[in-house]
Structure 1
Amino acid sequence: MNSSAPASSSTPLERDARVVHAKDGEIRPGEIAIGVIIGRTGEFFDFFVYAIASVLVFPSYIFPFADPLTGTLYSFALFSLAFIGRPLGTLLFTWIDQHHGRGVKLTIALFLLGGSTMAIALLPSYAQVGAISIWLLGFFRLCQGIALGGSWDGLPSLLALNAPKEYRGWYGMIPQLGAPLGLMVASGLFAYFSALLTPADFLSWGWRYPFFVALAINVVALFARLRLVATPEFERLFETRDLQPSPPFETLFSQWRTILLGAFAPLASFALFHLVAVFPLSWVQLYAEADPVRFLILEAFGAGICVLAILASGFIADRVGRRAVLGVSAVLIGAYSGFAPQLLGAGQLGEAVYMVSGFILLGLSFGQSSGAVNSNFPTHYRYTGAAIVSNSAWFIGAGFAPLVALFLASKVGLWAVGLYLLSGVVCTLAALGINREWAGRAA
Structure 2
Amino acid sequence: MSTPNQSVASSTEMERDARLVSTDGHISPGELAIGVVIGRASESFDFFVYGIASVIVFPALMFPFADKLTGTLYAFAVFGLAFIARPFGSILFMEVDRRHGRGVKLTIALFLLGGSTAAIAFLPGYQSAGIWAVVALVVFRLGQGFALGGAWDGLASLLAMHAPEKHRAWYAMLPQLGTPIGFIIASSLFAFFYLNLAAEDFLGWGWRYPFFVAFTINVVALFARLRLIATEEYAELYESRDLTPVSVKELVANQGSAVLVGAFVPLASFALFHLVTIFPISYVDIFSNRSPGEFLLMQLGGAAICLVCILLSGSIADRIGRRTHLGACAIAIAIFSVATPFLLGGSSASQTAFIMIGFALLGLSHGQSAGAVASNFAGRDRYTGSALTTDLAWLIGAGFAPLVALGATSRFGLAAVGVYLLSGAVCTLIALRVNRQMRLRAV
Q: TM-score range by the shorter chain?
A: over 0.9
Instruction: Answer yes or no: is the 8 Å Cα contact 1:323–1:439 preserved in 2.
Output: no
Structure 2 letter corresponding to 1:7: N
Alignment correspondent of 1:4? 2
- Pairwise mapping of residues 137-216 of structure 1 onto structure 2 (< 5 A)? 137-216=137-216
> Runs of at least 4 residues of structure 1 off by over 3 A?
3-6, 12-15, 17-20, 437-440
CA distance in 2, matches of 1:299, 1:82: 24
Instruction: Answer yes or no: is the 8 Å Cα contact 2:313–2:368 preserved in 1.
Output: yes
CA distance in 2, matches of 1:373, 1:107: 26
CA distance in 1, matches of 2:383, 2:21: 26
CA distance in 2, matches of 1:282, 1:15: 41
Structure 1 letter corresponding to 2:34: I
Instruction: Answer yes or no: is the 8 Å Cα contact 1:38–1:224 preserved in 2.
Output: yes
Instruction: Answer yes or no: is the 8 Å Cα contact 1:432–1:438 preserved in 2.
Output: no
Report whether the alignment pairs 1:337 with 2:337.
Answer: yes
- Name the TM-score, length of structure 2 as normaliser: 0.96
Report whether the alignment pairs 1:120 with 2:120.
Answer: yes
Alignment correspondent of 1:307? 307
- Pairwise mapping of residues 319-330 of structure 1 onto structure 2 (< 5 A)? 319-330=319-330
TM-superposition CA deviations, 1:191-233 (whole Å, max 9, x none): 1111221011001110000000000000000000000011111
TM-superposition CA deviations, 1:366-395 (whole Å, max 9, x none): 000013142332322111011011101000
Instruction: Answer yes or no: is the 8 Å Cα contact 2:81–2:145 preserved in 1.
Output: yes
Instruction: Answer yes or no: is the 8 Å Cα contact 2:261–2:431 preserved in 1.
Output: yes
Instruction: Compute the displacement of 1:24 (Å).
Output: 3.2
Structure 1 residues 373 and 193, CA gap change in structure 2 (3 angstroms)? closer
Instruction: Answer yes or no: is the 8 Å Cα contact 1:18–1:27 preserved in 2.
Output: no
Structure 1 letter corresponding to 2:282: S
Structure 1 residues 222 and 269, CA gap change in structure 2 (3 angstroms)? same
Instruction: Compute the displacement of 1:438 (Å).
Output: 8.6
CA distance in 2, matches of 1:426, 1:14: 45
Structure 2 letter corresponding to 1:137: L
Instruction: Answer yes or no: is the 8 Å Cα contact 1:337–1:421 preserved in 2.
Output: yes
- Pairwise mapping of residues 279-290 of structure 1 onto structure 2 (< 5 A)? 279-290=279-290
Structure 1 residues 311 and 439, CA gap change in structure 2 (3 angstroms)? farther
Structure 2 unaligned spans of 5+ = none
Instruction: Answer yes or no: is the 8 Å Cα contact 2:15–2:223 preserved in 1.
Output: no
Alignment correspondent of 1:232? 232
Structure 1 letter corresponding to 2:5: A
TM-superposition CA deviations, 1:30-52 (whole Å, max 9, x none): 11100000000000000000000
CA distance in 2, matches of 1:362, 1:22: 35
Structure 2 letter corresponding to 1:79: F
Structure 1 letter corresponding to 2:156: P
CA distance in 2, matches of 1:386, 1:365: 17
Instruction: Answer yes or no: is the 8 Å Cα contact 1:97–1:105 preserved in 2.
Output: yes
Instruction: Compute the displacement of 1:439 (Å).
Output: 8.1
Instruction: Answer yes or no: is the 8 Å Cα contact 1:114–1:214 preserved in 2.
Output: yes
Instruction: Answer yes or no: is the 8 Å Cα contact 1:265–1:428 preserved in 2.
Output: yes
- Name the TM-score, length of structure 1 as normaliser: 0.96
Structure 1 residues 14 and 238, CA gap change in structure 2 (3 angstroms)? farther
Structure 1 unaligned spans of 5+ = none
Aligned CA-pair RMSD: 1.4
Structure 1 residues 48 and 304, CA gap change in structure 2 (3 angstroms)? same
Moved more, 252-261 or 109-118: 252-261
Instruction: Answer yes or no: is the 8 Å Cα contact 2:84–2:145 preserved in 1.
Output: yes
CA distance in 2, matches of 1:209, 1:21: 31
- Pairwise mapping of residues 4-403 of structure 1 onto structure 2 (< 5 A)? 4-7=2-5, 9-10=7-8, 11=10, 13=13, 16-22=16-22, 24-403=24-403
CA distance in 1, matches of 2:149, 2:19: 28
Instruction: Answer yes or no: is the 8 Å Cα contact 1:8–1:238 preserved in 2.
Output: no
Instruction: Answer yes or no: is the 8 Å Cα contact 2:334–2:422 preserved in 1.
Output: yes
TM-superposition CA deviations, 1:345-382 (whole Å, max 9, x none): 21210110000000000000000001314233232211
CA distance in 2, matches of 1:206, 1:257: 47
Instruction: Compute the displacement of 1:132 (Å).
Output: 0.5
Instruction: Answer yes or no: is the 8 Å Cα contact 2:263–2:373 preserved in 1.
Output: no
CA distance in 2, matches of 1:21, 1:195: 41
Instruction: Compute the displacement of 1:15 (Å).
Output: 5.5
TM-superposition CA deviations, 1:91-144 (whole Å, max 9, x none): 111111111110010000000000000010001100001000111101100000
Identity %: 57
Moved more, 242-251 or 37-46: 242-251
Moved more, 19-28 or 384-393: 19-28
